Structure 1
Amino acid sequence: MFEMTPLSAIEQAMNGSMAEQNLISQNIANVDTPNYKAKKIVFDDAFSDALNRTNGSPADYHVVTDTTGSIQNNGNNVSIDNEMSKMAQNQIYYQALSQAASNQFLQFNTVLGGSN
């Protein structure tokens, strides 16, 4: 079994957040593309489990077409307001993860006798 340290769990979460940010950006870039359907990332259960325990497997996710939302006259279902909201939430989440990683490195530095 894969032993997940707090730092590796943070790394997995950051990787997932980066993938989600890229997909949100892709949706925004295609807001006016005829017949484009918004995409979203679906995380497997291992992702959320990895954040709540020390034993687990690396997170997996897959991209699916988002079938929710209104379809515009051009067949596109991207809501710019919804995508911008998701982007802001994801940026805050990533910043929190970055701070958590920084705190882990500070703890390592302290344990190894480094100065602050």
Structure 2
Amino acid sequence: MFSTTPLAAIEQGLNGSMAEQNAISQNIANIDTPGYKAKKVVFDDALQGELEANSTNPSHLPFLNSADPGFQTVTDNFGTIQNNGNNVDIDHEMSDLSRNQLLYQSLTQAASDQFLRFNTVLGGASG
């Protein structure tokens, strides 16, 4: 039943958002660590393409049951921000943190809406 709903895509998005939250937290915690290189989460471009191509029926997403989480955490070895070799930009991290919090809140609301629909369909109370 759940594999034919958007819940699988929502779950994948929540997992990616949690991974991004962890990477941002590590970056902020290591802001003054000499030589530390920022981590970032890179999402598969296929996710957005598949969601747009199959927007009328999310159950057609072929990767929902695969082991591929749709993202990976990588180290950003490009450049330095501080004299100690660290490349964490606090302004960038705080901006990413805010954006990611909004994404997570939106995804949890979408999951809540799906469960409310199930409850309504199954004859439960609405609201």
User: What letter corresponds to residue 33 of structure 1 in structure 2?
Assistant: T
User: 2:24 aligned with 1:24, yes or no?
Assistant: yes
5 Å-filtered alignment, 1:23-42, equals: 23-42=23-42
Distance 1:47 1:4 in 2: 17
Distance 1:72 1:41 in 2: 22
Query: Could you report, residue by residue, the CA deviation over 1:23-76 in whole angstroms, capped at 9, with x for unpaired residues?
Result: 000000000000101111111234324544322204322122224564311100
Give 1:73's aligned residue: 83
Distance 2:21 2:48 in 1: 18
Distance 1:4 1:49 in 2: 19
Question: Does structure 2 conserve the Cα–Cα contact (< 8 Å) formed by 1:7 and 1:101?
Answer: yes
Quote the RMSD (CA, aligned, Å). 1.8
Question: Does structure 1 conserve the Cα–Cα contact (< 8 Å) formed by 2:81 and 2:89?
Answer: no
Q: Structure 2: give runs of 5+ residues left out of the alignment.
A: none
| Gap change, CA 1:81 and 1:44, over 3 Å in 2 | same
Question: Does structure 2 conserve the Cα–Cα contact (< 8 Å) formed by 1:32 and 1:76?
Answer: yes
5 Å-filtered alignment, 1:1-116, equals: 5-49=5-49, 51-52=51-52, 53=54, 54=58, 55-58=61-64, 59-68=69-78, 70-116=80-126
For this pair of structures, how many residues does the alignment match? 114
Identity %: 63
TM-score of the two chains, using structure 1 as the length reference: 0.87
Distance 1:94 1:20 in 2: 10
Q: Structure 1: give runs of 5+ residues left out of the alignment.
A: none
| Gap change, CA 1:6 and 1:50, over 3 Å in 2 | farther
Runs of 4+ in 1 over 3 A off after TM superposition: 49-52, 67-70
User: What letter corresponds to residue 90 of structure 1 in structure 2?
Assistant: N
